[in-house]
């Protein structure tokens, strides 16, 4: 096979993509860790690999998220496969995992993750708490295929295709966790989110429509004393709180993410 260049020269070539991301792309192409690239920076690589690297770099330069290019995103303690059918899990969503873990003892408990996407929340919870039984749904069959592939064969985790709490029996769930779509259809942030599925991001009524459906539906399927943990948008905490109060939830707690932005609520069904 014809050789073209060494790793060092390939990585310093002209590009607006940060070096860290270039390394991620090349380590993905060569199926080697980043540390290997540094230790082998004078190794020459074949034309096939160089071509693959440049093709992926071009996609990144065009604005495609790095996670879709390399096909994964790290979340909590694991690496999750992602593709354009799934939202790319965000670091701030790890707050939901913390809130769920701290809400209940490590004793048997039925947990539901609504809108699981890549399965990031459900897999993290099922892995952390083997005593819990975790059920996760999504309306997107394509996202569920990815989530199932990410499930690490956990015996306490199951997925189903469905709309929020529609197919869930009343008074049957101890805790519901959800990161639903919550961006308003006219929000300018959407201009920078053109690669992810719109159905994972956008919700009607100023971004509140799905949150309201989940709050109302969860009130029926949670057991008395059951917990709801919800992520929401940066300006929605007051509205989410009011909706919870009107629906009759108690012990409403409000949380900021690591950036200090209001990001999640936790509440109990009386």
Least distance (Å) between residue 237 CB and ligand SAM: 17
157: contact with ligand SAM by CB under 6 A:
no
**24, 120, 215, 230: residue in contact with ligand SAM (rule CB under 6 A):** 120
Instruction: List the x/- string, 202-231, binding to ligand SAM by CB under 6 A.
Output: --------x---------------------
**Please, which residue, 49 or 68, has the CB nearer to ligand SAM?**
68
**115, 207, 217, 262: residue in contact with ligand SAM (rule CB under 6 A):** 115
CA angle 170, 147, 56 (to 5 degrees): 150
Q: Residue 41, CB half-sphere, CA atoms under 13 Å: how many? A: 9
136 bridge partner residues: 113, 159
46 bridge partner residues: 3
Least distance (Å) between residue 91 CB and ligand SAM: 11
93: contact with ligand SAM by CB under 6 A:
yes
231 bridge partner residues: 264
- Residue 222, token pair as written in the block: 């949670």
Angstrom distance (rounded) from CA 172 to CA 196: 33
186 bridge partner residues: none
87: contact with ligand SAM by CB under 6 A:
yes
Label residue 209 exposed, middle or buried (CB < 10 Å: 0-12, 13-18, 19+): middle
Of 13-52, binders to ligand SAM (CB under 6 A) are none
Binding footprint of ligand SAM on the chain (CB under 6 A): 87, 89, 93, 114-118, 120-121, 137-140, 143, 163-164, 179-181, 199-200, 210
């Amino acid at each position: 096979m014809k050789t073209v260049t060494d790793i060092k020269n390939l990585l310093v070539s002209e590009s607006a993509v940060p070096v860290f991301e270039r390394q991620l792309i090349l380590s993905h192409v060569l199926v080697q860790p980043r540390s290997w690239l540094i230790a082998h920076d004078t190794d020459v690589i074949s034309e096939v690999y160089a071509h693959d690297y440049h093709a992926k770099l071009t996609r990144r330069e065009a604005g495609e998220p790095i996670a879709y290019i390399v096909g994964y995103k790290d979340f909590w303690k694991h690496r999750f496969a992602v593709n354009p059918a799934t939202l790319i899990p965000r670091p701030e969503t790890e707050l939901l995992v913390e809130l769920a873990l701290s809400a209940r003892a490590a004793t048997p408990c039925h947990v539901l993750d609504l809108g699981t996407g890549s399965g990031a929340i459900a897999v993290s919870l099922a892995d952390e708490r083997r005593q819990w039984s975790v059920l996760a749904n999504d309306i997107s069959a394509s996202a569920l295929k990815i989530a199932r592939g990410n499930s690490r064969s956990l015996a306490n985790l199951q997925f189903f295709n469905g709309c929020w709490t529609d197919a869930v029996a009343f008074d049957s769930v101890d805790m519901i966790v959800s990161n639903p779509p919550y961006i308003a259809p006219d929000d300018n942030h959407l201009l920078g989110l053109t690669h992810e599925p719109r159905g994972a991001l956008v919700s009607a009524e100023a971004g509140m429509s799905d949150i309201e459906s989940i709050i109302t539906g969860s009130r029926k399927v949670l057991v008395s004393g059951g917990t709801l943990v919800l992520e929401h948008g940066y300006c929605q905490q007051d509205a989410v709180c009011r909706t919870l109060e009107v629906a009759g939830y108690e012990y409403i707690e409000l949380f900021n993410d690591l950036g200090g932005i209001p990001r999640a609520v936790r509440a109990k069904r009386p």
